[in-house]
Amino acid sequence: MVRPMSQRLQGLAQSEIRAMTRAADAAGAINLGQGICDLPTPAPVADAAVQAIRDRKSTYTYCEGDAGLRRKIAAKLARVNGIDADPETDIVVTAGSAAAFTCVLHGLFDPGDELLIPEPYYGYHVGAARVAGVVPAYVGLRAPGFELTAELLRAAITPKTRGLVLCTPSNPSGRMLTRGELEVAARVAEEFDLTVITDEIYESITYDGREHVSPASISAAMARRTVTILGLSKTFSITGWRLGYVVAPAAMAEKLKLVHDLFYICAPTPLQHGVAAGFDLDDSFFEGMRADYAAKRALLVDTLREIGLPPIVPEGAYYILADVSSMGEPTAKAAAMRLVEEAGVAAVPGTAFFSGTAGETGEGLVRFCYAKEQGALEEACRRLRTWGAARA
């Protein structure tokens, strides 16, 4: 008999994002499922990491990260995010933004606490909360606008609610929270004394001139209760490096440092030196990245429209939710598997991003990711068009 294992993992399985990567690999399909982001890493970032290894900067840093990197992060937070942070006390460099999220769950919450999670969500927020014993409370946003309202937030609040997750630009919907929505969220957070946890890892990937607004920048009151999570995976195309950072008022950051030390010791040292060079890149790098993603968004949006899988056009990030109900499959998973087998292109079933308990279910949707090299994305779109023509 198998010995009993953690109760907290009951009902949790490896994510659909992972499952579709395996399915894509097995079928030789192009993987537009997992947000792998296989674009080239900027040369200064790669070179600085290699140099750090050669210079034997390969031992631990403090658990909160290299001091020079934290100073660069603080300057960037002031310049780009409108966040005032003391690099000595308020910033922790983490082993990816997922590690930052884990530190927040374990450092600032107790088992049984409830966490408001707007839906559609990034499933790892839900899974990681459950592993920490924190209970997700879903706030069902309505497609296609996915607007965050005070009514929806209030409806999900109970006496046990302690926190609110804000993912903007959103994975998977691509929605960017407006200043107005953030003000609403700030008022509700104040009224119910909630800790706000942000996930802003897609902050640099925005379209049509939209400006990313960091929730902590809304007001001094909001900044006092907000833990801002940012990452470098998407900005520098280094998803496998596992580097992110978290910013919080000193008392909260202290707890995050404690957990980061106990779980991870520190983020990878030479890679911290690599990304430090990335903070010196000028605006033209970010403008170039935005233009590249905008062109890729247009290519995939046009393709999906042409083959009768209407897309919800994202405002930021690099995912598209597309309506696959015309395929007539009983589930989103079946539609995604059919796309792998018939078209040779993998996407993630929409159900991976919905609990199924807060209104919409994600059936009838799949998520495509266009963070791919141009050639691979073009080939994927060619395959989708060929498949679409055959079924028309």
Kindly list the residues in this chain that would bind ligand GLN in the complex (CB under 6 A).
17, 34-35, 122, 124, 171
CB of 297 to ligand GLN, least distance (A): 16
* Distance separating alpha carbons of residues 234 and 253, to the nearest angstrom: 24
User: How many Cα atoms are found within 13 Å in the side-chain-facing hemisphere of 219?
Assistant: 14
Identify which of residues 16 and 363 has a Cβ nearer to ligand GLN in the complex: 16
Report the residue closest to ligand GLN, judged by CB.
Answer: 35
CB of 124 to ligand GLN, least distance (A): 6
Identify which of residues 35 and 350 has a Cβ nearer to ligand GLN in the complex: 35
Identify which of residues 34 and 237 has a Cβ nearer to ligand GLN in the complex: 34
* CB atoms near residue 373 (< 10 Å): 12
Q: What are phi and psi of 169, to 5 degrees?
A: -55, 145
CB of 145 to ligand GLN, least distance (A): 21
CB of 196 to ligand GLN, least distance (A): 21
CB of 233 to ligand GLN, least distance (A): 8
Identify which of residues 35 and 136 has a Cβ nearer to ligand GLN in the complex: 35
The residue type found at 203 is: E
Identify which of residues 17 and 116 has a Cβ nearer to ligand GLN in the complex: 17
Identify which of residues 61 and 239 has a Cβ nearer to ligand GLN in the complex: 239
CB of 138 to ligand GLN, least distance (A): 18
* Distance separating alpha carbons of residues 264 and 249, to the nearest angstrom: 21
Q: Is 373 left (phi over 0), alpha (psi -120 to 50) or beta?
A: beta
CB of 17 to ligand GLN, least distance (A): 5
The residue type found at 48 is: A
Identify which of residues 122 and 146 has a Cβ nearer to ligand GLN in the complex: 122
CB of 383 to ligand GLN, least distance (A): 20
Identify which of residues 141 and 317 has a Cβ nearer to ligand GLN in the complex: 317
